[in-house]
Structure 1
């Protein structure tokens, strides 16, 4: 599958995922809601929800003395370490029968997947894994530090963080006319959750405020309806091979964008 870069003129179409749950519509952050159902796709549950924490294969680690008091030097170190990570990063191969075209514009915080399915158009906006404070990379430890830590402990920490890693998806299914279906999903390594689903009507009238009925919370739908919607998304390409590949793709993109951002910062402070 060929990767196509989006032109700069279409950058405005690349928006961060809007919160889709009722709480998010009221201004609260997107919540991860969990209730087990059969299969890799499952619904969300509001009562035990917690804020989504997204990590990546980039190992977070505090730096010690990296260019302290020397801003250009500290920035150069960040760029060098990120570039070293990229040079050693093995990009996962595109899964067999990957159904989407990837549109990825440099400098944007999302990638967009597109495909046609029968008489429908499928669009998926994929966010980056969310690392608080930006990505951090392995740095050489100060002499004498870290020698008491066992490799088993490090492996266990990495396994735990990998288990929590996820990306957010906004899936839009549209036809030539009529309403659209919009799904907000969270993709983990071993499962995909549906956080919310909306039917979006094309009834907006300029100057007239509307208050459409948005339907029940996804978890309030009958279980058979929820399972049917899981299958509906799978048939349109929202599967674990697809989302796991896009997770790794977005981790690499995040690192590249981090290098670009740091380079702009370096150029500015050195002027």
Structure 2
């Protein structure tokens, strides 16, 4: 389990119009200061920036075809080459969270204390179209058809790149009292609050109860929505923090991908 620390600056998130549970499951581009205006959740026309994937989604042709161990070796080698060339931004002492990263797990836990509160953030793997596929150095074809295929592949990359995000479940607690649970999606240029719940401890004995969970987040008054965004920002949920974690999770995803492929290769070769 690794304990790390990184940089954060105050950047304003933007809400979405979706309600759903936290996902516990892309690739980074250079950071730059961005200060998008805060807008009400309902009717927002903002769109995340289109970013270039560090790991391309170009389909392989021929590498290890019909030979599972050989195909796995190629995939592991290319993933490792990407990992070796990955220049992850060093961690800054200003990053407000302690990072708990357990090998083999699909999420990373962030923890910190804020005044009399305890903050816990569950960060998922990056959400990518098609999953991690690495550069194919053995591409087949040439001439006009190959150029056309490359252009189509780049177009597909651009269409899917804008969907790159990480899901966050943010839990804010005070002693033994109720907790606030936020389900968020962090894109490169905005953070959306998809859901917010007040979770109270319930007596497990007796008949089942159905507590009132409150309105949809997007049905809250705009001034309340803005206040909740500010609430999260003060507790460390900022664009600089989530962009760092996006890059961190891309690297973790690659490591776990190599580990998983290696286990599969060892099994089929036994």
TM-score band, normalised by the shorter chain? 0.7 to 0.9
Gaps of 5+ in 2: 5-17, 25-34, 46-50
RMSD, aligned CA:
3.2
User: Would you say the 8 A contact 1:167–1:187 is kept in 2?
Assistant: yes
**Alignment of 1:75 onto 2:72:** yes
Q: What SS does structure 1 have at the residue aligned with 2:162?
A: helix
Pair 77,183 (structure 1): closer, same or farther in 2 beyond 3 Å: same
User: Would you say the 8 A contact 1:95–1:241 is kept in 2?
Assistant: no
Pair 204,132 (structure 1): closer, same or farther in 2 beyond 3 Å: farther
- Higher RCO structure (Cα 8 Å, ≥6 apart): 2
1:3 Cα offset (Å):
4.0
User: Would you say the 8 A contact 2:88–2:247 is kept in 1?
Assistant: yes
Partner residue of 1:9?
none
Pair 149,137 (structure 1): closer, same or farther in 2 beyond 3 Å: same
Pair 104,181 (structure 1): closer, same or farther in 2 beyond 3 Å: same
Partner residue of 1:180?
179
Gaps of 5+ in 1: 6-20, 31-37, 49-53
1:112 Cα offset (Å):
0.5
Count of matched residue pairs: 239
Partner residue of 1:101?
98
Alignment partners' CA distance in 2, 1:143 and 1:270: 32
Partner residue of 1:236?
235
1:148 Cα offset (Å):
2.3
Pair 209,47 (structure 1): closer, same or farther in 2 beyond 3 Å: farther
Q: What SS does structure 1 have at the residue aligned with 2:193?
A: strand
Alignment partners' CA distance in 2, 1:46 and 1:210: 34
- Pick aligned residue for 1:58 from 55, 59, 65: 55
1:167 Cα offset (Å):
0.6
1:96 Cα offset (Å):
5.6
1:153 Cα offset (Å):
8.2
- TM-score if structure 2 supplies the norm length? 0.78
**Alignment of 1:164 onto 2:163:** yes
- Pick aligned residue for 1:142 from 140, 143, 152: 140
Alignment partners' CA distance in 2, 1:40 and 1:250: 27
Q: What SS does structure 2 have at the residue aligned with 1:199?
A: strand
1:163 Cα offset (Å):
3.0
Pair 171,43 (structure 1): closer, same or farther in 2 beyond 3 Å: farther
**Alignment of 1:247 onto 2:246:** yes
Partner residue of 1:118?
115
Alignment partners' CA distance in 2, 1:61 and 1:227: 41
Q: For 1:67-113, what per-residue CA distance to the aligned partner results, in whole angstroms no more than 9, with x for missing partners?
A: 11111111111111100110111112225611000000000000010
Q: What SS does structure 2 have at the residue aligned with 1:80?
A: helix
Pair 263,125 (structure 1): closer, same or farther in 2 beyond 3 Å: same
Partner residue of 1:8?
none
Alignment partners' CA distance in 2, 1:173 and 1:55: 34
